[in-house]
Amino acid sequence: MKRISVVLLITFLLIQSLSAQRPNSFSYDPSRFIGEFEDFFKTFAKGNNNDAGDEFYGNYSAGKFNPQQKMAIIKLTNEMLNSNCQGNPDFVQYVLTCNALVNSGQISKFENWHKTLSTSLKRSRDDFQKFLSVSKNVFADKTLLQVGAFTWVAEASNIDLQVQGDPMFIFKNMTLFCYTPGDTFEIYNTNGRFIPSKNLWLGNAGKMDWTRVGLDSNKVYAQLKNYKIDLTDGLTVADSATFFNKYQFTQSILGKVTD
C-alpha cells in the first residue's frame, strides 16, 4: 500500500511539474515572446531538436522573419497552446519547418503556408499534424511522401500553396522522382499539385521514359498532358499523352499511358 502511495505521489508531482513548465500563453510583445518561447522549448527539446530551437531563436532575432511574420508566429503558437499541442512532435515540427523555409529560400511562401497551417489546426489536431509533417518534409528535404517502398521527391525551386479548399502544394518547372529499392521513376519538366490529405499528385505536362528498363530515352518516351498519380501505390495514369517509340514507329502515337 505504501509503495502504491509513493508511486501515485511521484506521478502527481511529475504532472504538476510539467504543467508548471507549460505556459498558458506567450506574450504578444515580439521582443518578450522569443525568450518565453525559448524557455518553454528547452523543457522538452533534446539533441538535434535543441539545436533546431537554437537555430529558430537565431533566425527570429536576426530578422529573418519580418514583423508581420513574427506576429503570425506568436498568434499560431498561442493557438497551439490552446489546442493542447504537444512539445514533441508539434512544436518541434513547427520550428523545423520555419527553419526550413529560411534555409531553402522559400520564406516568401510563409504567409500562405501559415494561413493553411492555421486553418488545419482549426479543423483538428490530426489535420494539423499531418500538414505540418508534410510541410517540413517538402521544404526541408523536398520529400512529398514516404510510404511502403516508395519515396516521392519533388526537385523544384518554385513551390506555392493553395489555401482554399483542400490544402495543396503547387510545383512548377520541376522533376518528380519516385525511389524504390533497385528502381527510380522520373517525370521531367512537369508541373503538379500535391494534395496531402489524399496522397494524390495531379500533374500537367512533362516527359517520362523507360531508361530504368534499358530503353534509350531519346527513342522511347512519352510527352504527357494531364496525368495523376496515387502516391501510395505509384500508379500513374495519363489520359492524354503522345507516345514515341522510334525503334518501331516513324510517327508518334496519341493515347493513354499507364505505368
> Of 115, 139, 163, which one is at a domain's C-terminal end?
139
Q: What integer pLDDT is reported at residue 214 of this predicted model?
A: 84
Counting the structural domains of the chain, the total is: 2
Tens-place pLDDT, residues 149-204: 889 999 987 888 887 777 889 999 999 999 988 888 899 999 999 998 889 999 99
In this structure, the number of other CB atoms found within 10 A of the CB of residue 58 comes to 12
1 falls within a domain: no
Residue 218 placed within a domain: yes
pLDDT band (50, 70, 90) for residue 7 = very low
Full-prediction pTM beyond 0.85?
no
Say whether both 104 and 180 belong to one domain: no
Residues 99, 159 share a domain:
no
Same domain, 169 and 132: no
Do 97 and 57 share a structural domain?
Answer: yes
Show the cell assigned to 251.
510517327
Closest residue by Cα to residue 135 from 116, 156, 108, 157? 116
pLDDT value of position 9: 41
| Cα distance between residue 257 and residue 53, in whole Å | 47
Q: How confident is the model at residue 20 (pLDDT cuts 50, 70, 90)?
A: very low
Residue pLDDT, tens place only, 219-251? 898 999 999 999 998 888 888 889 889 888 888
Q: Which domain holds residue 217?
A: 142-258
